[in-house]
Structure 1
Amino acid sequence: MDVIECRKVGIEDFDDVMSIRDVNDGLDYLPALYRTFMADHTGYAVIVNKTMVAFQCVTFIDDGETIILRALLMRKGYEGRGLVYRLRAFIQQDMAGKPRLKRYVFTTGNEAILQKVLKERRGELIVQRDILFYHGGVSKVVPFLPTVDNIPMRILNKGDLQKLLSSKANTDRLFPQGRIIVDWVPYRLLASNVDHFFNDFCHILGSECKDGDSGSFECITLAVGYIVPNGIRYNVEIYGNFTEETFLLHMAEHLRKCSTFEYGDINLLVYSEPGSHDASMITKTMQQFGMSKSNTFNSSTMYGIEAPMVPLSKY
């Protein structure tokens, strides 16, 4: 009979967690971000006969009212044995002492998971983003980057983001779905959430409205970049109204940021608003920089799902 246990894990468990499996075909963020996660996330694992077979980490956002589930891993050969249910029951038991907790959220690129959740009425779709994937090499991209002065945009700092999220005019214009997504985490539009996502991995650019007050933005691009097994993974969320020229200037600066990494291959994902951003314009711009569109990423859509916190037995 198998000996099964659930326990918390920490930084010292890095090797065991990484041994579970590689996901996303060399684009997995967890190897790069695991140690950072463990500073403000809690990791949990299932151990079967002394072998770590499943992992998930969680953290709290939205003023402590929302728990976000991230980085679920399952060792091949252990699927379908109820281990995810057992792991989440253990997580929920550990969360029992947090009375402010109202809901949990997660994101997925798997439409079948979304449809299952909706069919069983276990949650609702709160946000959806289209995904375009591009690949290129730093040595080929850099020669295409324009050298320009007095660019009508600027790098945003933490104070800028907090002010932006406190402005209804900005949030209505930029985030019509009511969430700001950073590296697959859908945050509510609260200034307090900036502390969760503004870190050394972020590079955020904003173009101010030409006829608006200072701090009123027509569009922003929010990027998170890190090293993965296949080189550089650079995720760019785009919000607001872009002209072709504005988008080109934003992406030029993000690709310039990519060139500061000591790796040659760029895997760049652009996440856009369905029906609002022109995919052909995005692809045309990326091709101008020597980046080619690829269909090898495992999803073309991101789904954000939210559900109220209820006893796991209710599911």
Structure 2
Amino acid sequence: MVALVGGVLIAAGSVTPAVAHQQWFVADPQDYPVDGAALLRPGVLLGVVVAVVVTLLGRAAASRLPVPELSAFKPARLLAVLAPWAPRILALHVGLSLIVLSFSGAVLSPTFRAPDRWEALLLVPQIIVGVMLIAGVFVRIAAVAIVLTATGITVASGWESVASTAVLVGSAVFLFVLPPRATEGSRGALDARTLSRAGLALRLGAGVSLIGLAISEKLANPHMARAMLEQVPALNVLAPLGVTPESFALIAGGVELALGLLLISGALPQLIALVTAVPFTATLALFGTAELIGHLPMYGVLLTLLILGSRADSSRALSGSPGIPKLGAAKKAVT
């Protein structure tokens, strides 16, 4: 296992950046470098202010709404029975993504391609890591391998790679802190303090990924955003209202930024998970399997937040709310 982690880390620096998210589909993405000066545009600054205000309002609203916030809806309440299996569900999503990506020559994300000389050293261990996660064995070792690989890629490729790797790092840390048990049907031990730490990592990973996408593909890259919207006009759902591609890119980037901040804040985990899932799901009709596989870890995170947010005790622990109760009594009710 030490050789597995070591081999992945050594080769990670040789991964070739290819494309990311909308860059997976836009023609000639290398022609659209990030422009930091674009962040100083009035529309971007206004979007940042709105995103911060929305986050503060969301956190304030969370303190006044019932916990869970969707407890009035029966389907949301029924998810509570899955809470002990949430780590297992997340591990399945991440593991399946790694295995499928390996067969397409990608490392961690469609963003990064394995060079021919490193394919065996990178992709075979990645398949092994994926199998470990799906089988629920040596999960902590698999998590360490993911974090080390993501770190190597980020060092080699620059900060823009964080948009693709952060959600995987957050998921890996969550699974390291709160791994599914190899016994008892792979249920996790939902200790309040442990869940609070694991939940922070999960929220940070998903939130940073969304913020990174908002900046690198829209707010600080208006030319790429426009090219994508011209290539696939259907993406601009506000076009019938007269919204230009430039304005829509600002709106979309602002929404992604707000969702990322809300995820990090821990406010209303069920509601925010559902809202965040909407744009990720809507684009499946346009981009198909590549979009699905590329975002499978994010789907896993959102489903995990939705499930853990369905119980009052785990929701409070997950969101870092004060007065976290012990989870023992609630566990007996659902296990």
Which TM bucket (shorter chain)?
A: under 0.3
By relative contact order (CA 8 Å, sep 6+), the higher-ranking structure is 2
TM-score by length of 1: 0.25
TM-score by length of 2: 0.24
User: Counting helix residues as a fraction of each chain, which structure ranks higher?
Assistant: 2
User: Counting strand residues as a fraction of each chain, which structure ranks higher?
Assistant: 1
